Amino acid sequence: MQYTSTNLTDTIVALATPPGVGAIGVIRLSGTAAIAIANQTFKGKDLSQQATHTIHFGTIRNEEDKIIDEVLVSLFVAPKSYTGENVVEVSCHGSDYIIQELIQLFIRQGARMAQPGEFTLRAFLNGQMDLSQAEAVADLIASSSSASHSLAMQQMRGGFSDEIKKLRQELIDFASLIELELDFSEEDVEFANRDDLRALIQKIQRLIHTLMQSFQLGNVLKNGVNTVIAGRPNAGKSTLLNALLNEERAIVSSIAGTTRDTIEEVLNIQGIQFRLVDTAGIREAQDQIEAIGVEKTMEKIQQSSLLVYVFDVIQTPPEEVKADLEKLYQEGVFTVVVANKMDLNPYTKFEHYASNYLTKEQFIPTSAIHKMNIDYLKERLYQAVVQEKVQLDDTIVSNARHFEALKKSYDSLADVLHGMNTGITSDFIAMDIRKALHYLGEITGEISTDDLLGNIFSNFCIGK
């Protein structure tokens, strides 16, 4: 099966600016259909009628006509472009979420994610580059592809990877049965039960659907990131919360133990929703009410993705900070340590606090009351999510290319069902099953249709 070979006729899409912060993001589309794909989603001038090397203002809307962003679209008509093909560059606001939404929209409209170095490769192949650049391009492709070859599997948590592997194997068994019917119809062979096949396909589709729903970036956009602020009484948690939110929400006083209930607020950093939960201080509880508060804090941390631990650089010595972190540590919860009240002790150093639970970039000195380093803290929180250090509870798929493979698996399986429902013969059904197997294999890292025959030979008694 040859679905994998470098396919140079597709229209490809990718982010052209570096990922992460930036005022503007540029998404580049290249290929025959680039202008058409952009035009389908663009509200403004009819892009198909515009001259090359022109820029147009408008909005990009999704299938439900919902505006995703206001953009500037630059048109480069083949062959006068970087790649020598039709190229569209969409300049949008530099939020990762807007960028992802736009890329996913273009993929739904017919583009596919570019392979590493593919724009450059196309440019080269279309004679847009000097031959002397060949070695550099080749190196680029080789190095970036080895990085991108890390499999979706490694990024999947929970039992999903095993489950999808198992279901794919079941589908291979079915595909083998169908091939068996085709290649060995003359012999005394069993037949694939169509009801079982239908049930299996629906089961795989449901699983894929769940996985697609859990696409990390989409998820963050939908649900936000659960973030707990914790620390000893009077470390300044509530002040920090207010500094982050820039308003006085939590009850702030300097009497230890003021905050007894958890308080939930939403903080928006560059488009990401952080759902902040302020907690009662952790210490050996003095009274009954506070004891309940401490228990709640631990519970909240367990339910969150991100922990912001705040301590007072004057009151709390490094050993106690280390002890707290050890107590609060939860597998899978990313921790940021805020050394508050730095204005009172500017000599606080990371080195004093270093431990297994803490790296330098997780350590942020602030002064909540004077709003010092608050923007830096925000930047660190944002980066933690964007660089996928924060694992969201319901995120399983985080890579856009894997998301695309899931989508294609899903669609091929839908084709199989459609074929079965319209009574098409099994050779055509086999064609769609193979395609589905191929895309599922891209997710599990097992690409093989040759193994169909191997499977047949080892499991069925065939041969006259």
Partner 1 sequence: MFPKYDVIVVGAGHAGCEAAVAAANMGSKVLLATMNMNTIAQMSCNPAMGGVAKGQIVREIDALGGYSGIVTDHTMVQFRMLNRSKGPAMWSPRAQSDRMLFANKWRMMLEAHPNVDFWQEMITGIVVKDGRAVGVHTGMGLEIESHSVVLTNGTFLNGLIHIGEKQFGGGRAGEKAAKGITEQLVQLGFESGRMKTGTPPRVDGRTLNWDRMEIQAGDEAPSQFSYTDTPKLKKQLPCHITYTSPKVHDLLKEGFDRSPMFNGRIQGLGPRYCPSIEDKINRFAGRDRHQLFVEPEGWETCEIYVNGFSSSLPEDVQYKALKEVPGFENMKMFRPGYAIEYDFFQPTQLRPSLETRLVKNLFFAGQINGTTGYEEAASQGLIAGMNAHLAIHEEEPFILKRSEAYIGVLVDDLVNKGTKEPYRMFTSRAEYRILLRQDNADLRLTPLAQKVGVQGMEDRMTRVNEKEQAATDIEKFFAKLSVTPDQLNGYLETLGSSKLKQQVKLHGILLRPHVKIEGLRTALPVVDEFLSKYTQETLELAEINMKYEGYIKKEQEMVDKMNRLEAVRLSDNFDYAQLKSLSSEATEKLSKLQPRTIGQASRISGVSPADISVLLVHMGR
Q: Which of 43, 53, 63, 139 binds partner 1 (CB under 8 A)?
A: 139
461 lines the binding site for partner 1 (CB under 8 A): yes
Site string for partner 1, 70-109 (x = CB under 8 A): ----------------------------------------
Assess 7 for contact with partner 1 (CB under 8 A): yes
Task: Using the rule CB under 8 A, give the single segment among 28-36, 48-56, 141-149, 306-314 that binds partner 1.
Answer: 141-149
CA distance linking residue 73 with residue 27, whole number of Å: 10
Quote the least distance from Cβ 170 to partner 1, whole Å. Answer: 18
Stretch that binds partner 1, among 117-125, 205-213, 229-237, 288-296 (CB under 8 A): 117-125
Asked if 142 interacts with partner 1 (CB under 8 A), we say: yes
For residue 272, which of 319, 228, 223 has the smallest C-alpha distance?
Answer: 223
Report how far residue 443's alpha carbon sits from residue 252's, in angstroms, rounded to the nearest whole number: 50
Pairing of strands 272-278, 225-231: parallel
Which stretch in 186-194, 280-288, 319-327, 406-414 sits in contact with partner 1 by CB under 8 A? 186-194
Distance CA 111, CA 35 (A): 11
Contact 69, 60 (CB under 8 A): yes
Q: Quick one: which segment of 134-142, 151-159, 278-286, 350-358 binds partner 1 (CB under 8 A)?
A: 134-142
Tokens of 276: 């902040």
- Does position 132 bind partner 1 by CB under 8 A? no
Site string for partner 1, 143-182 (x = CB under 8 A): --xx--------------------------------x-xx
Residue 185 in contact with partner 1, rule: CB under 8 A: yes
3-state secondary structure of 269: strand
Q: Does 462 bind partner 1 (CB under 8 A)?
A: yes
The least CB distance from residue 13 to partner 1, in Å, is 18
Strand order in 363-365's β-sheet? 263-269, 272-278, 225-231, 306-312, 334-340, 363-365
Q: How far is the CB of 133 from partner 1 (least distance, A)?
A: 9
Whole-angstrom Cα distance, residue 426 to residue 399? 34
Phi, psi of 426 (to 5 degrees): -70, -20
Q: Could you tell me the smallest distance in angstroms from the CB atom of residue 135 to partner 1?
A: 7
Is residue 130 a contact point for partner 1 (CB under 8 A)? no
In the numeric block, the tokens 């009151």 are attached to 315
For residue 446, state whether it binds partner 1 (rule: CB under 8 A).
no
Q: Is 32 in the site for partner 1 (CB under 8 A)?
A: no
Is 6 among the residues that bind partner 1 (CB under 8 A)?
Answer: yes
Strand stretches in 41-98, DSSP E: 42-43, 54-61, 67-76, 87-93
Give me the least distance between CB of 128 and partner 1, in Å please.
11
Cα–Cα distance, 278 to 351 (Å, whole number): 27
What element of type H or E holds 339?
strand 334-340
| Residue carrying the six token digits 């093989």 | 448
The alpha helices in 246-369, defined as continuous H runs, are 288-303, 318-328
Alpha carbon 136 to its chain's center: 30
Residues that bind partner 1 (CB under 8 A): 1-9, 115-118, 121, 124-127, 131, 134-135, 137-139, 141-142, 145-146, 179, 181-188, 422-428, 430-431, 449, 452-453, 456-458, 461-464
